[in-house]
Amino acid sequence: MRQTIPVILASASPRRREILTMLGVDFTVEVSDTEETTGETEPGRIVSELAACKAEAVASRHSSEDFLVIGSDTIVWKDGKMLGKPADCKAAEAMLSDLSGDTNSVYTGVCLIMKRNGKVHRETFYERADVAFAPMSDEEIRWYVSTGEPMDKAGAYAVQGLGGRFITGIYGDFYTVVGLPMCGLYNRMRNLGVLTEQ
- Nearest-Å Rg of the Cα atoms of the chain is 18
Catalytic residue among 73, 102, 138, 173: 73
Active site residue 66: no
Q: What share of the chain is helix, strand, coil (3-state, %, to 5)?
A: 35, 30, 35
Distance CA 142, CA 89 (A): 9
C-beta contacts of 147-151 below 8 A and 24+ residues apart: 150/86, 150/92, 150/95, 150/96, 151/85, 151/86, 151/89, 151/92
Classify 26 as helix, strand or coil: coil
Q: Active-site positions?
A: 73
